[in-house]
Amino acid sequence: MGKIIGIDLGTSNSVVAVMERGKPTVITNRKGGRTTPSVVAFTKDGKRLVGQDAERQAVTNPQNTIYSIRRFMGRRFAEVQEEINWVPYQVIEAGNGDAWVQIGDKAYAPPEISAMVLRELKEAAEEFLREKVTEAVIAVPAHFNSSQRQATRDAGKIAGLNVVRIFTEPMAAALAYYDLSKSVDETIVIYDLGGGNCSLSVLEIEDSFVKMKTINGDTRLGGDDFDRRIMDWLTTEFKRDHDIDLSRDSVAMKRLKHSAEQVKCELSSIAETKVDLPFLAADASEPKHLSTHLSRTEFEQMIQDLVEKSIELCKLLLRDSGLSPGEIDEVVLVGGSTRVPMVQEAIRHFFGKKPKKSLNPDEAVAIGAAILGGMRSGEVKDVVFEEVTTLSLGVETRGGVMTPIIGRNSKLPARGRQIVSTAADNQPSIEVHVLQGEREMARDNHTLGRFNLEGIPAAPRGVPQIEVTFDIDADGMVSIIKDSGTTKAQQITMTGAVGLDEREIDRMVQDAKTYAQEDAGGAD
């Protein structure tokens, strides 16, 4: 069996790792970096850039440079309205209602963009290993729903990878922590704050068994949101000084984004930093420059509510697990945004102990994914793990209520059954609305899709009793099985689901191969 690589497909940066001589090894990209920016760009002369090259030209080509694409994976356009206002590229509504990206005269699905980053990582791994790589484990945020996980799997397929497992980031980090510490009989919390999400999990480690007890998180809370607060503040400062609104200037906003990221990093180690952005805008009289100072105290005031929001998630996490902060042995920090001192202090204050920083926060998830890849290939033995569902799975019932079938934090794989019936006499089919989420009303949860049970024999309403089985597999993917013994209705057709159909995926796979051939030809 060939090598199975482990990938952390991040919002801001991505990392690839592999097991080598019994140890997880982070693979450097073709620029020599251990992390690859999750950025893709299209130049005026038709070239496609990925990673550092794409990030480097982002300021001069903002509308054709795509970053933070993971925030749009597996989501409908209606769901991302608030988030598209601060990216300089154009996000559009595709024919099926999904959020796609428009570059020039071509539209790209988020999995297609992510596949370009994955292919870059795949090729780096092939150069490192000097062999073809066809299989991967990809880690995703804890609270990714089934549509987002499927979008990630689609991205892997488009990139030429068989995704053998979709893995939650907290569990990946837990495997990396266990591999490093070989701790036994510990209850730990993984606090993962990346660029676009906050993932939290309570895990129990006993000998070589790693068990996920509870999970929580928010896929719209991360370092990007910290950056936005700085950008908003800089925009306000500039408008006050020059009466010019930069929010409509995509080039200026990209420069502010880049500067905000730098400021955030600098304030993790110093008390105050200076922001100098010359020639940021101009009016009829002269060019306008931005020059100001920002202190760590001011920055912490900007992000206080975001940090508090993550602590509220910690409270819910412990409530679900039935544990108190004092019963947690270690808190392990993962994700680049955990470098922010205010985040570390908030965690220390809540749990009553200093968080552990023994893992590289940028690399831990990819290392854990590589360890799982080693387990699948037989290179890693004597480690067993158990995951749980991240969101409740249910159906819409009378009154627009969400009725759970499989509850959150159920052991994976999980199975649930629901009896459905007709609402009218002689009704020939039944539509079932399938949802994921924790809200009481169906409209407030995520729609996985609707399926029809057809060919129901004529009968008074409520008489047909049709048992439908819902499965969530180890990857957190949902499937629906109709019990063939209950009715003649055999066919299940899912409609309204988020994501790509097989024809679109096949086209994107072919496009990716064409690009690869063109790149190879250019290299010659």
Give the tens place of pLDDT for each residue, 328-343: 999 999 999 999 999 9
Q: Angle at the Cα of 149 (from 147 to 154), degrees rounded to 5?
A: 90
In the predicted model, is pLDDT for residue 521 greater than 60? Answer: no
Q: Say what the pLDDT of residue 483 is.
A: 52
Nearest to 51 by CA among 72, 35, 62, 27: 35
Q: Residue 9 and residue 161: Cα distance in Å, rounded?
A: 13
If pLDDT is split at 50, 70 and 90, which confidence band does 501 have?
confident
Please provide residue 173's backbone torsions phi and psi, each rounded to the nearest 5 degrees.
-65, -35
Supply 343's token pair: 């985040």
The mean pLDDT value for 388-417 works out to 91
Q: Output b/e per residue, 116-134; b: 16+ Cβ within 10 A.
A: bbbbbbbbbbbebbeeebe
Q: Residue 433 and residue 421: Cα distance in Å, rounded?
A: 13
Please provide residue 153's backbone torsions phi and psi, each rounded to the nearest 5 degrees.
-60, -40
**What does the pLDDT look like over 292-303, one tens digit per residue?**
999 999 999 999
Q: Which of 342-351, 417-426, 513-522 has the lowest mean pLDDT?
A: 513-522
**What does the pLDDT look like over 142-194, one tens digit per residue?**
889 999 999 999 999 999 999 999 999 999 999 999 887 777 789 999 999 99
Q: Say what the pLDDT of residue 346 is.
A: 97
Q: Residue 466 and residue 478: Cα distance in Å, rounded?
A: 19
Q: Say what the pLDDT of residue 131 is.
A: 95
SS3 69: helix
In the predicted model, is pLDDT for residue 96 greater than 90? Answer: no
Supply 190's token pair: 């993984």
The mean pLDDT value for 367-392 works out to 91
If pLDDT is split at 50, 70 and 90, which confidence band does 522 have?
very low
The mean pLDDT value for 413-418 works out to 91
CB count within 10 Å of CB 514 equals 10
In the predicted model, is pLDDT for residue 462 greater than 80? Answer: yes
Q: Residue 48 and residue 65: Cα distance in Å, rounded?
A: 10
If pLDDT is split at 50, 70 and 90, which confidence band does 491 have?
very low
Q: Residue 522 and residue 116: Cα distance in Å, rounded?
A: 17
Q: Say what the pLDDT of residue 518 is.
A: 63
Percentage of the chain lying above the pLDDT 70 cut: 95
In the predicted model, is pLDDT for residue 517 greater than 80? Answer: no
Dmax over CA atoms of the chain, in Å, equals 80
The mean pLDDT value for 498-509 works out to 84
Distances (CA, A) of 430 to 340, 385, 489, 498: 52, 39, 10, 21
Supply 218's token pair: 């928010």
Q: Are 333 and 297 in contact (CB under 8 A)?
A: no
CB count within 10 Å of CB 439 equals 12
How high does pLDDT run on average in the chain? Answer: 90
Q: Residue 403 and residue 398: Cα distance in Å, rounded?
A: 9
In the predicted model, is pLDDT for residue 489 greater than 60? Answer: no
Q: Output b/e per residue, 246-282; b: 16+ Cβ within 10 A.
A: beebbbbbbbbbbbbbebbebbbeeeebebebeebbe
Distant-in-sequence, close-in-space partners of 14: CB < 8 Å, separation ≥ 6? 7, 8, 35, 36, 37, 38, 117, 118, 121
Look at 16 and 455; give whichever has higher pLDDT: 16
In the predicted model, is pLDDT for residue 464 greater than 90? Answer: no
CA torsion 410→413→417→422, rounded to 10°?
A: 110
Q: Are 179 and 469 in contact (CB under 8 A)?
A: no
